[in-house]
Structure 1
Amino acid sequence: MTAAKPIPESDLAAILAATREIWEPLRGRSIFMTGCTGTFGAWLLESLSYTNRALDLRANAVLLSRRPDVFRAKMPHLFADDLITMYEGDARDFAFPDGQFPFIICGATEASAKQQAEQPVEMLSTILRGTERTLEFAAQCGCKRLLLTSSGAVYGRQPSEIVHLPESYAGAPDPTDFNSVYAEGKRASELMCAVYGRQYGFATIFSRAYAIGGPHLPLDMHFALGNFIRDALAGGPIRIAGDGTPTRSYQYGGDLAVWLWTMLFRAPDRAAYNTGSGESLSILQLAEAVRDVLNPSILIEVAKKPAPGAPVSRYVPSVEKAERELGLRNGVTMEEIIRRTARWHGWQG
């Protein structure tokens, strides 16, 4: 496996600058993390490692992984000090590590269109049983605060007339649709966390995440931003499989890390926050932005024509609650997200 490049130090320094005042509760203590070997996890772990050294926190992170050697080979720079300990096990049945862990981040599994289509039972089992096993551990390891990385998918389909979806929206996925596996898994996980937290006396916080960009964003999965950057770096054309009208928004990985760490240490018990950007743009506008930043001469190909009068497919959060209650803001523009993502993947512009 080819080792991934580290996140630029400038990004890690910016995360530290935005979070410097929140880290004291972790000083000399331990944090347990599951499901943190993907894009979200890379940002969390690298920012934690950087902050631990910069502030001399002398904290320790234990990271659960089914294949620790693979992750170590992917990100060897994370293991230059003894902050991060890899702990081998499946989230669904792992043996509990020794020690007290006042902080836990529970991820269980990342969104994967491929796994949902090809292994839906495996995905659902990993989310539900993985969350439950982590909560069983939280109940006996001295946990005080647990952050669940949930998803905006828990709301189900966003009505086209709601431009920015708030946390108070009472919609839900269709429980009879096998395409709801990820969404329903995360929805049930939120309830499990709330129930366990109430019974065993630890705070639970929910981050309902939306799309992100930046270093570690794959260019070969189901993420439109990554695919468009891949097409642009290859010389084009940028290909849109649909009609280009669905509306999305994108948060930079560095801003994401600031939001997640702030939620873990500062959010009230059983609070849920949309985690993302309220700056919406259509898939066609996203493709145009990628073209304009990376290679203005290439073409954009749109496979389908928009159907007259069809409702707009939206997946855009309201982030007013996080702004109002936690003072969180996004600092990286869409153009800069594209630029930094492409540079991490080798673009020289």
Structure 2
Amino acid sequence: MCDTVVNEDVQNIINVDSVDWKQFHGKTIAVTGATGLIGKMCVFALLAADKKYNLNLKVLAFVRNEKKAKAIFAGEANDQLAFVVTDILEPVPQNIIADYLIHGASVTASRMMVEQPVETIMTAIQGTRNMLQFAERCKMESMVYLSSMEVYGIMPKEQVEVKETDLGYINPLEIRSSYSEGKRMSECLCAAFASEYNVNVKIARLAQTFGAGIAKDENRVFAQFARSVIEKKDIVLHTRGEKANCYCYISDAIAGILTLLTHGNKGEAYNVANMDTFCSIREMAEIFVSVSENSTSKLVFDIPEDSNKYGYAPSSVLRLNSDKISTLGWKPLMNMNDMAKRLMQSMAQNEVE
């Protein structure tokens, strides 16, 4: 990897105490969505842990585009990594065997959620069903399903913090709900397989996660902010920026996922979020401007009459409580200022390349 920030992040992951790395000795770990940010960082971390702890593990990277995968993992070509070129909408071939599974393949682009809601729903539900059946067939030791904070929907304004037992309102007739309802049903599938077939699956409800290593064509809000500041352009908001959430830096999120893989309780959900990062979209934009040296960028507003066409999630306030996963020893290391700085440092390096 040429990205020095990504390299530092990987080292941070494999040095955490909350992951029982010895569990992976001689095991095969499958990762779906392995060319996405979270998937590829899981692969990088597992391969680095293999070297550091002499684990003799093997990683199966589930991908749709083998050429893209080979480019991403060009420096990782060794006997510990193999590509499984497949679509998660199809059952996993019988000859594929694994001991652990991180299921992260999912639609992530907001525009696709409103332009292709059927595909968004089916990717979530059918894809997760296929992966749970894969886990059942292999009698896997553990599986983690990557869910989202969007399963909570819109919480009451008086809700101070959101724990795993809380749920808000989602309108199933809103097209943008294809993502959140798909995630909810996938969680229900996980609980059902855990109960009926004894699949040891855990659910990671991820706060919005970002950091070093994002794709060059990433278009989510954090990437837009970073790109604008790097190019010394103004950050333009198409809403008032009132939506407020907790976030999680990529290395902290991967450490959380791996902690659940080795320590989480079967059939249970865990918020994976840095509670100290709670801020509005507007406040996040202001942070990106403020942490950049010699920045000439400003925050401006250009709110169209119909902002729904952009596929933005409903405006809400969602302060996730991560006490439950903290009891497993996990704790986030990066605050919002660190997250913004590291993202821009990484993006700037990749632009030079």
Match of 1:299 in 2: 298
The separation in 2 between residues aligned to 1:74 and 1:17, in whole angstroms, is: 23
Match of 2:29 in 1: 31
1:268 to 265, 270, 278: 265
> 1:156–1:173: 8 Å Cα contact kept in structure 2?
yes
The separation in 2 between residues aligned to 1:270 and 1:60, in whole angstroms, is: 25
- Displacement of 1:218 in angstroms is 4.7
Kindly indicate whether residue 196 of structure 2 is the aligned counterpart of residue 199 of structure 1.
Answer: yes
**What are the residue-to-residue correspondences of 1:83-102 with 2, within 5 Å?**
83-98=80-95, 100-102=97-99
Q: Deviations over 1:277-312 (max 9, x none)?
A: 21211222211111111144322112359xxxxx97
> 2:17–2:329: 8 Å Cα contact kept in structure 1?
no
> 2:18–2:329: 8 Å Cα contact kept in structure 1?
no
1:75 to 69, 73, 76: 73
**What are the residue-to-residue correspondences of 1:160-239 with 2, within 5 Å?**
160-218=157-215, 221-239=218-236
The separation in 2 between residues aligned to 1:80 and 1:245, in whole angstroms, is: 45
| Ranges of 4+ aligned residues in structure 1 off by more than 6 Å | none
Q: Deviations over 1:86-131 (max 9, x none)?
A: 0111101144252542211122314221221221111211111111
1:15 to 13, 16, 30: 13
DSSP 3-state at the match of 2:176 = helix
The separation in 2 between residues aligned to 1:250 and 1:100, in whole angstroms, is: 34
Match of 1:308 in 2: none
The separation in 1 between residues aligned to 2:95 and 2:224, in whole angstroms, is: 42
The separation in 2 between residues aligned to 1:301 and 1:173, in whole angstroms, is: 30
Match of 1:105 in 2: 102
> 1:219–1:227: 8 Å Cα contact kept in structure 2?
no
> 2:19–2:258: 8 Å Cα contact kept in structure 1?
no
Kindly indicate whether residue 254 of structure 2 is the aligned counterpart of residue 254 of structure 1.
Answer: no
The separation in 1 between residues aligned to 2:155 and 2:215, in whole angstroms, is: 25
**What are the residue-to-residue correspondences of 1:119-198 with 2, within 5 Å?**
119-198=116-195
> 2:89–2:123: 8 Å Cα contact kept in structure 1?
yes
Match of 1:66 in 2: 64
Q: Which stretch of structure 1 is more off in the superposition, 94-103 or 151-160?
A: 94-103
DSSP 3-state at the match of 2:256 = helix
5+ residue gaps, structure 2: 305-313
Q: Closer, same or farther in 2 for the Cα pair 1:168/1:222, shift >3 Å?
A: farther
Q: Deviations over 1:6-44 (max 9, x none)?
A: 753322221111147611111001112222321111221
Match of 2:115 in 1: 118
Q: Closer, same or farther in 2 for the Cα pair 1:312/1:110, shift >3 Å?
A: closer
Letter in 2 for 1:335: N
Match of 1:313 in 2: 316
DSSP 3-state at the match of 1:50 = helix
> 1:239–1:300: 8 Å Cα contact kept in structure 2?
yes
The separation in 2 between residues aligned to 1:12 and 1:156, in whole angstroms, is: 32
Q: Deviations over 1:118-149 (max 9, x none)?
A: 21111211111111111122121121211100
Match of 1:277 in 2: 274
DSSP 3-state at the match of 1:328 = coil
- Displacement of 1:341 in angstroms is 0.6
Match of 1:340 in 2: 342
Q: Which stretch of structure 1 is more off in the superposition, 204-213 or 165-174?
A: 165-174
The separation in 1 between residues aligned to 2:210 and 2:162, in whole angstroms, is: 20
Q: Closer, same or farther in 2 for the Cα pair 1:20/1:178, shift >3 Å?
A: closer
> 1:211–1:250: 8 Å Cα contact kept in structure 2?
yes
Q: Closer, same or farther in 2 for the Cα pair 1:99/1:207, shift >3 Å?
A: same
Match of 2:311 in 1: none
> 2:5–2:345: 8 Å Cα contact kept in structure 1?
no
Match of 2:330 in 1: 328
Q: Which stretch of structure 1 is more off in the superposition, 16-25 or 176-185?
A: 16-25
Q: Deviations over 1:50-93 (max 9, x none)?
A: 1111111001111222222222123322x322212101111011
5+ residue gaps, structure 1: 306-310
Q: Closer, same or farther in 2 for the Cα pair 1:160/1:76, shift >3 Å?
A: farther
- Displacement of 1:249 in angstroms is 2.5
Q: Closer, same or farther in 2 for the Cα pair 1:48/1:7, shift >3 Å?
A: farther
Q: Deviations over 1:186-233 (max 9, x none)?
A: 111111112122222221100001112211235654522211111111
Q: Structure with the greater relative contact order (CA < 8 A, sep ≥ 6): 1 or 2? A: 2
